[in-house]
Amino acid sequence: MKLYDMVELAGRNLREAGLRNSLTTLGIGVGVASLVAMLSLGIGLQLLFRRELGRSSLFDSVYVTSRQDFRQRRVGDNRPTRPLDDGARKSFEKLAGVLEVYPNFAAVGEFRFDDSKTTDAQSHFTVLTGLPPSSRNSEAFDDIQGHFFSGPDAAEAVLMVDFARELLGLPEETDSDKKLGSEQANQLLGKTLVLRYAEREAPSLTGNEPANAPANDNTAADNLAFNVVRKEQALKIVGIVVQEPVRGIPRTGRSSVFLPIAFAESLNMIQPGDLRNVVRPAEGKTYQALIVRVAKSKDVAAVEEEVKKQGFGAFSLLDASRNVRIVFVFLDLFLGIFGSLALVVASLGIVNTLVMAILERRREIGIMKALGASDRDVKQIFFVEACTMGVLGGALGVGLGWLIGRVINFGTNLYLQRQLEAKPQEFWYVPLWLVVGAMIFSLLVSWFAGIYPASRAAKLDPVQALRHE
């Protein structure tokens, strides 16, 4: 029999017992909906997790150190080592997939906020950190008061909110995530913050060189000896953030002031580890650590490997990320299994419905066989009926699953906003492959459920079926 005839006959048969078949199809729909809902939750959480981590740049950074550091040098490790200097930095920038290379810049400075109201500005010691331009994507800047740095070498500063409070002489807030009031913020934004720091000054042989030489002009000789001088730099406060913008790995403790990295570097501040460089010759400026950021996290492993080959110590959170991925695979698997259970139960409904149909249509099957239907024809009609219920149930289930997802997502966000004042998030995500996959899975389960009834119908003896009642 031709397929369209089979589909037509199956459709007619399904309509004949409309209520029963609709309920069975609804059962399949609920089963598929539970599968879709479970999996889309798993996928949604995974995406949310990845998105958040991706923004934090934790998983697309390689932390590079020099293996010349005694901490990294092991007995019997004879691999060649190189100083982590400008030459190395340039070579990292040339690696495929690398987005940017920047030093893990953190230094201690003394800050004075002069708002012209207080004549004797108070001094505040804290850690300042250099931020690369890419950190603009960090979620911390989503609700910044003010704005991000106007350029990579602007003499501008972004403050953490608690430091901003300290500068204004406000009491400490128990809720560290609380923003400043707009009036308070305006007292700081656009104003000048004076940074006092220890500069690593090139040795002055003549005594006439400019005191604040650019960092890149340092020579190998500079590293052998330098002067430490006190410097002052005026910074314009451009932004206040609540959350610390994570720059990669490792986090250097809590920083309170952020500067554009290029500008921070140009200040030539004394950093921990500088003394070590005095005794170690290098090409240009040396770094305690460099952070190599790659465009795609999948390139991390290759870049890390290449950096190690060049004779440096390299570390990334890729392994941790891999473990997280494995956890999500298991989570999805379990959610999928629980979701599928409902579908399996629903498939028993198909078996039940079709076995009932065989009993009811016994005579009809006999007639069809007498008129020339083969066993295969009868079997296929039942399969088409089972699969039709599967496809309709699958479509219904995908829609229902999506709807459940939307409703729960909405409810959760409502709760989060009311209780925790958190930003709305997408916990639920229904990708196209899940839609198609769930339909195919539903079809397969229905087909499988149809095997027994279809074979039973096909084996029906027409003579028995047609025997006079």
Partner 1 sequence: MPDNDNEALRTISVVRHYRLGRSTICAVDGVSLAAKRGEFIALLGASGSGKSTLLNLLAGLDRADSGVIVVEGQNLATLSSLELAHYRRHTVGMVFQSFNLVPNMTLYENVELPMRLAEVRRRERKARAREALEKVGLSERMKHRPSEMSGGEQQRAALARALVNEPKVLLADEPTGNLDSKTGTEIMDLIRGLNRSLPMTVIMVTHERPLAERYADRMIFLGDGRVLEETKSKMGAAK
Q: Which residues of the chain form contacts with partner 1 (CB under 8 A)?
A: 1-2, 5, 9, 12, 16, 363-364, 366-377, 462-463, 466, 468-469
Contact assessment for residue 16 and residue 316, using Cβ atoms and an 8 Å cutoff: no
End-to-end CA distance of the chain: 29
Q: Smaller CB distance to partner 1: residue 247 or 369? A: 369
CB of 16 to partner 1, least distance (A): 5
- Core vs surface per residue 10-31: b (16+ CB within 10 A) or e: beebbeebeebbeebbbbbbbb
DSSP 147-199: -S-SSTT-SEEEEEHHHHHHHHTPPPPSSTTPPPPHHHHHHHTT-EEEEEEEE
CB of 466 to partner 1, least distance (A): 6
What is the rounded distance in angstroms from the CA atom of residue 264 to the CA atom of residue 131? 9
Q: Smaller CB distance to partner 1: residue 14 or 249? A: 14
SS3 114: coil
Q: Smaller CB distance to partner 1: residue 47 or 367? A: 367
Return the bridge partners of 109, or none: 126
Q: Smaller CB distance to partner 1: residue 171 or 372? A: 372
What is the rounded distance in angstroms from the CA atom of residue 218 to the CA atom of residue 86? 10
CB of 378 to partner 1, least distance (A): 10
Contact assessment for residue 92 and residue 98, using Cβ atoms and an 8 Å cutoff: yes
CB of 26 to partner 1, least distance (A): 23
Q: Which residue has the tokens 């020099």?
A: 66
Q: Smaller CB distance to partner 1: residue 87 or 462? A: 462
Q: Smaller CB distance to partner 1: residue 285 or 369? A: 369
CB of 359 to partner 1, least distance (A): 15
CB of 451 to partner 1, least distance (A): 19
Q: Smaller CB distance to partner 1: residue 67 or 369? A: 369
Q: CB neighbours of 110 closer than 8 A, spacing ≥ 6?
A: 123, 124, 125, 195, 196, 197
Q: Output phi, psi for 91, to 5 deg.
A: -65, -30
CB of 388 to partner 1, least distance (A): 17
